[in-house]
A and B are shown apart, each in its own frame.
Chain A
Amino acid sequence: MTFIFAHTGHWITSLIYAAPVVLLVALLVADHMRNRRRDKAKVGSAADPVEAQAEPAKAQKPHNPA
Chain B
Amino acid sequence: MTRASRITLLVVVAAVAALFFGPEAIAHGIAGRTDLPIPRWLFGWAAALVLVVSFVALAMLWPKPRLEAARRRRLVRIPAAVDPICAVIGVALFTVVVYAGLAGTQSAVANIAPRFIYIFFWVGLVVASVAFGDLFRLFNPWRAIARAVAWGIRRISPDGLPRPIAYPERLGRWPAVVGLFAFAWIELVLPSQDRTMPSTLSTLALVYAAVQFIGMSVYGIERWTQRGDGFSVYFGLFAALSIFERRESTLYLRPPLVGATSLKRLPGTAALLSVMIGATAFDGASEGELWRSVGPKLQEFFVARGAGLEVGLELAYTVGLLLMILLIAGIYRIGVYGIHTISRDRSMSDLSALFVHTLIPIAAAYVIAHYFSLLVFESQAASFLISDPLGDGSNYFGTADSTIDYSILSPSAIWCTQVAILVTGHISGLILAHDRALKVFADPKLAIRSQYWMLVVMVGFTSLGLWLLSASNQ
Contacts and interface: CB of A to CB of B under 8 A. Distances in A.
Interface stretch (B247-255, B427-435, B450-458): B450-458
Given A28-B453, A65-B344, A66-B449, A21 B463 contact: yes
A56 B289 CA distance: 61
B129 to A, nearest CB: 29
B294 interface: yes
Contacts of B471: 14
Contacts of B342: 65-66
Interface residues of A, number: 20
A6 B41 CA distance: 24
Given A3-B297, A20-B463, A25-B456, A66 B341 contact: yes
Contacts of A24: 48, 52, 455-456, 459
Contact of B48 (A6, A14, A20, A25): A20
B467 A14 contact: yes
Interface string B440-474: 00000010010011011001100110110011000
B290 interface: yes
Contacts of B446: 65
B44 interface: yes
Given A10-B292, A66-B449, A21 B297 contact: no
Contacts of B453: 28
A12 B471 CA distance: 12
A10 B292 CA distance: 9
B256 interface: no
A8 B470 CA distance: 17
Nearest to B462: A20
B293 interface: yes
A8 to B, nearest CB: 8
Interface residues of B, number: 31
Nearest to A10: B289
B44 A7 contact: no
Contacts, number: 67
A6 B459 contact: no
A4 B293 contact: yes
A19 B45 contact: yes
Contact of B297 (A6, A10, A11, A25): A6
Contacts of B456: 21, 24-25, 28
B460 to A, nearest CB: 5
A28 B466 contact: no
Most chain-B Cβ atoms within 10 A of its Cβ — which of A17, A20, A65? A17
Contact of B463 (A6, A7, A8, A18): A18
B41 A16 contact: yes
Interface string B331-344: 00000001001101
B22 interface: no
Given A8-B293, A14-B471, 16 more contacts: A7-B289, A7-B292, A7-B293, A10-B293, A11-B288, A17-B467, A20-B48, A20-B49, A20-B459, A20-B463, A21-B48, A24-B48, A24-B455, A28-B456, A65-B446, A66-B342
Interface of A: 3-4, 6-8, 10-11, 14, 16-21, 24-25, 28, 31, 65-66
The 6 tightest CB contacts between A and B, nearest first, are: A20-B48, A3-B297, A7-B293, A17-B467, A11-B289, A10-B289
28 contacts: A3-B293, A3-B297, A4-B294, A7-B292, A10-B290, A10-B292, A11-B289, A14-B289, A14-B471, A16-B41, A17-B44, A17-B463, A17-B466, A20-B44, A20-B48, A20-B49, A21-B48, A21-B456, A21-B460, A21-B463, A24-B48, A24-B52, A24-B455, A24-B459, A25-B456, A28-B452, A28-B456, A65-B341
